[in-house]
Structure 1
């Protein structure tokens, strides 16, 4: 019995040794293949937008309150949001001007890393771009001359000439059948529309998002927003980027959540757009996004249902 047991143990030990010897090259080959695969996958991933700490950001230059350039300095709520959120991911913005109609193209052609320019998150835009947001919510409205008492309610706009400009959701909204009795026309930009309203008086009103309109009134005290006139559904402003940077997008989303949860959002909003708290006692409820909305629209190819 002792002899058999010894022989059996020896045979088993030898067999194990041979199996181990045969497996060693196979294991080494598999490990090498895994390393090559990981390297190849890593090479396919684009570098982080925040890798060198400086991020190219497209924003507006002609929207007081949201984004404007004065003495070569960018200011407004969009720029405040950008600085705060990028600070949360360890980066700083390098701002550049982008017109409304070019907001998508500067991202897809890699001219800018991000666009923060009162850019509404829509289902169609989510197909081509990623958004972290919203960082603000607003309805489309109407701005008129302060001494014009003809327009107080939605029906008063019927038959009136309303100016807007390309690249905004405002054009699409007012061109829908529901508003076909409003005479809508386009000018190249917001400044031209405001000139039509103030100087030429060829426009009876200017229409875009109320948040933007309130900003215009801060530098044009002879103009006013009609608070009881809104169009369409709420516009949700997001931080836009090209597809392919989902991890960066999620980092921005998390930084935005922290910003919205802090009192800094309200302070920045009231500082940049003091005309809104003056006109609307419920401005935080009406303009500050809910966390659930941020979750449903951020870093997705379509809204979460």
Structure 2
């Protein structure tokens, strides 16, 4: 005999409501645990951060040891968060896609804040100036200002905002320069030293560091040709990662106010500069 049990009346409605409420609470608890990246990081005690370690002085390898501005900054930020950082080295073209695919928690590669990127990512407060500039071979008197690259060979990192800016800048020059794209900046610098390109394009801090290391080979072309801009770290947009970006921002502001930021800047740039404590509106 098949027996069907049917719950009716006030008790039945109350039971169903109680079971439904319990299910909602249970699901809500799971959703909260899964949706709060910062909580997950603190529970694990580790923040997974990615960059390209071919971008001195921000990120580079020296005797297989990770060094640079971002390494020093993320170590301080991790202390403020009460966790340890795990550093992941990737090609630049894989860094932002990896963030979107949730392969790590935060991008600490310096990313230029642009209007287009702000539609897709959540930026932290700035970690450095990022204005685009050019570097030439020392002694090349044919290039004394940015406009002198007309008809020249120009090298820059593929997918960077600096390369995008020089392409736009080049549209107003006659004859047009030839622009070559490189996997990383070091390859562009190598071709500049060898005479295969006439200038390399990057952010002013990167070029100033490279020129200081090899004064006999490289000289920065001033003034910078790019619009004033800043480098920041990048998180995913949305509620899941909001608390993480807010916590990183609070840590970066604290590091700037207590002098640790200035010490790191002087170590790598030779000078210190005050940075915005809010995410600035990009000019391009």
Normalised by the length of structure 1, the TM-score is: 0.77
Name the residue aligned to 1:253: 249
Instruction: Provide the rounded CA distance (Å) in 2 between the counterparts of 1:253 and 1:229.
Output: 28
Pairing 1:174-213 to 2, within 5 Å after superposition: 174-176=166-168, 177-178=171-172, 181-199=176-194, 201-213=195-207
The reply to whether residue 241 of structure 1 matches residue 241 of structure 2 is no
- Deviation track 1:84-141 (CA, whole Å, cap 9, x = no partner) reads 1222111221112122211211111222221111111223223332221212122100
Instruction: Provide the rounded CA distance (Å) in 1 between the counterparts of 2:264 and 2:211.
Output: 18
Name the residue aligned to 1:37: 24
Task: Give the 3 Å change call, closer, same or farther, for CA 160–242 of structure 1 in structure 2.
Answer: same
Name the residue aligned to 1:227: 222
Gaps of 5+ in 1: 1-22, 278-282, 298-302
Name the residue aligned to 1:8: none
State the 1:69 CA deviation: 0.9
| 1:64–1:218 CA contact under 8 A, matched in 2 | no
Moved more, 28-37 or 255-264: 28-37
State the 1:58 CA deviation: 1.0
Query: Which has the larger Rg?
Result: 1
Task: Give the 3 Å change call, closer, same or farther, for CA 242–28 of structure 1 in structure 2.
Answer: same
Gaps of 5+ in 2: 1-9
Pairing 1:1-305 to 2, within 5 Å after superposition: 36-45=23-32, 46=34, 47-49=36-38, 50-51=41-42, 52-176=44-168, 177-178=171-172, 181-199=176-194, 201-221=195-215, 222-231=217-226, 233-243=227-237, 244-274=240-270, 277=271, 284=273, 288-291=274-277, 293-294=278-279
Normalised by the length of structure 2, the TM-score is: 0.82
State the 1:163 CA deviation: 0.5
Instruction: Provide the rounded CA distance (Å) in 2 between the counterparts of 1:63 and 1:178.
Output: 29
State the 1:39 CA deviation: 3.4
Name the residue aligned to 1:19: none
Instruction: Provide the rounded CA distance (Å) in 1 between the counterparts of 2:20 and 2:126.
Output: 43
